Amino acid sequence: MAIFPEFSQSFYKMQGSGNDFIIIDNRTQRIAPQMMGHWARQLCPRAFRIGADGIIFLELDASGQAETIWHFFNADGSRAEMCGNGARCATFLAHKLGMAPAKHRMLTDAGTVQAEVFPEEGTVSVQLTPPRDLRLNLDLVLDEKNMVVHFANTGVPHAVFIHEDISVLDIPKLGAKIRYHQYFAPAGTNANFVQILDQGHILLRTYERGVENETYACGTGAAASVAVLHALGQCAASVAVTTSGGEILQITLQDTDIFLRGPAQIIYQGQFCPAHLGL
């Protein structure tokens, strides 16, 4: 029951390795897909609204392809095919709400995601779509300087730049230049900046398309970075990825499959009045 009668919409706030999300249980509210981008733009701005990197509408899948289905939107209202950390949060909540067993499938725009929740650890493993469109040693010109980047699509597009010390890089500035580079037009790309510590451990900073800034973590970016490094012979098949938020994601390559494992946490449950927020 709502504290105030007009506060009719409930939601969950979750985070996975510093990526935070608003998740709506859409089984009863049934927000129409054509309105979801507007909801993202209204709810995701920080300080003035709930604030999040993105919003997820979670439903049961009636097609039989999976137990659940999601609709994921970035903070700017753009629909995204996939988000690794968002998938971990959504599958964790689906299990918590009784929508799916600990091991289940979730249908995304990038395909069906296989997931397993480990409640005792508070972690979730998701099998991402196999990396595709791998491109190595791309020569890009940024501000009249040559820059070698790599590329892989792990559900969404990711450019990968390797540097000996990513702490000195201006990620918002450099990330935006790569994200909007004409080579990746018209859709653009996410931009990842990798520092190799050893064959089994890397540091990662990511500029996310749709958020248009550096985020604390990016699961598909971690997967793309490891896929690129492994193709270059610079990392093992299982790698610990320390994100900007300080948490560790584990990326494991098995033949053509790629797995992402890390923590997922429900921060709080709340309610709001859609009319007060222009919804």
Given the residues 44, 89, 218, 235, the one annotated as active site: 218
Given the residues 83, 89, 235, 273, the one annotated as active site: 83
**Type of residue at 223:** A
Of 227, 240, 150, give the one whose Cα is nearest residue 189.
Answer: 150
Tokens representing residue 115 in the block: 């997931």
Confirm if 157 and 151 have CB atoms less than 8 A apart: yes
Instruction: Report how far residue 111's alpha carbon sits from residue 8's, in angstroms, rounded to the nearest whole number.
Output: 32
Question: How far is the CA of 80 from the CAs of 142, 156, 247, in angstroms?
Answer: 26, 7, 24
Known catalytic residue at 235: no
The CA-to-CA distance between both ends of the chain, in Å, stands at: 20
Known catalytic residue at 83: yes
**DSSP state, residue 131:** P
Confirm if 59 and 26 have CB atoms less than 8 A apart: yes
Residues belonging to the active site: 83, 218
